[in-house]
Amino acid sequence: MKLPRYAYFEGRIVPYSEARVGVMTHALNYGTGAFAGLRGYWNSDEEQLFLFRPIDHFIRMLDSARILCAEVDFTPEMMRDIAVQLLQEEGLREDCYLRPLIYKADEIIGVRLHDLHDELTMFAVPFARYVERDEDAHATFSSWRRVDDNAIPARGKITGAYVNSALIKTDAVRAGFDEALVLTDQGHVSEGSAENIFMLRGGVLITPPVTENILEGITRRTIIALARQELGLDVIERPIDRTEVYLCTELIMTGTAAQVTAVTHVDHRPIGEGQMGPVAAELRKLYDRVVRGRMPKYRSWTVPIYVKEPAPAV
């Protein structure tokens, strides 16, 4: 992956090579950080880069930071403005991924969340597909369980919690799969290694509720809106049993990185016809148009990065 040219670090935008922390940094040793992932989408027709739903992402990020008792003097709007300035400096004219991180910056030994100094950093890199076969992904049920709200809250994007995701993803890929589905301790389907899930059964789109140890996904929220408003589908949130997945007609994974990924096989069993279904295909098209600012109805979800120069006076 290409390294960034710049990063926001300790209150200013600096060359990426200057954005460095010491090996004693608390967040590095104890996983005491909260992060977000945002995508920027290049619209070649307008020659514009659109950042998708930044305020929603930064609201959730600050909520995640609150779980870690992090105190930073930033509003979602301030963080959006930093992101826009950083992307302008980076000058990307392609799809990209923006990673902000609030982290415990003290260089000390000792496990705690209180009486520590919190910092914000941010960087952006070119980014295409997260799941390489996102039209024909093969998944398996993981032997690992999703972290529980009373252990490490999954609704927060907390750095240390993603060891759980790493264990899940590595075992799945090494076993020959593209992704994994994860169960709660109660045996209900929670999500993927780093994606929310939807299944289609009886013409209804079903997704686990936020009480099933899932990340409260921004892409998940987007897909619920598009499915209801553009496709006229009933979308319900309820617990999902493992064997229901084997019997559904379509299975979709969603996330900022994964976008809208069609899962066609689970544990070597075909989902529906064993190929991407019409709902997934239509949602992928809709989502791509929305994030690139091509649907006026949802244009407010996008923030243009590059200011257009006014035409010279005649």
CATH 1.10.260.30 assigned to domain 137-294? The reply is no
List where CATH 3.30.470.10 sits in the chain. Answer: 6-126
Q: Which whole number is the average pLDDT over 6-16?
A: 98
- Residue span(s) of the chain under CATH 3.20.10.10 come to 137-294
Fold of 6-126: D-amino Acid Aminotransferase; Chain A, domain 1 (3.30.470)
Name the pTM for this structure. Answer: 0.94
Q: Is 157 a catalytic residue?
A: yes
For residues 97, 102, 104 and 106, what is the CA-based torsion angle, rounded to 10 degrees?
A: 80
Q: What is the DSSP letter of 308?
A: P
Contacts of 63 by beta carbon, 8 Å cutoff, 6+ apart? 156
Helix H or strand E segment including 265: strand 259-266
Q: Which pLDDT does position 130 carry in this prediction?
A: 86
Q: How confident is the model at residue 1 (pLDDT cuts 50, 70, 90)?
A: confident
- pLDDT (mean) for 74-78: 98
Nearest-angstrom CA–CA distance, 302 and 38 = 11
Q: What is the mean pLDDT of the chain?
A: 96
- For residue 120, the cross-strand partners are 102
Mean pLDDT of 15-40: 98
What is the mean predicted confidence (pLDDT) over 9-30? 97
Q: Assess whether pLDDT exceeds 80 at residue 311.
A: no
Euclidean distance between CA atoms 266 and 137, whole angstroms: 9
Q: What's the rounded mean pLDDT across residues 208-229?
A: 97
Q: How confident is the model at residue 307 (pLDDT cuts 50, 70, 90)?
A: confident
pLDDT for residue 128: 87
Q: Is 118:65 a contact under the CB 8 Å cutoff? A: yes
State residue 313's pLDDT score: 54
- The active-site residue out of 2, 104, 157, 169 is 157
- Contacts by residues 84-88 (CB-CB < 8 Å, ≥ 24 positions apart): 84/51, 84/303, 84/305, 85/13, 86/6, 86/7, 86/8, 86/13, 86/122, 86/123, 86/124, 87/40, 87/49, 87/51, 87/124, 87/305, 88/305, 88/306
Give the pLDDT confidence score for residue 287 in this predicted structure. 98
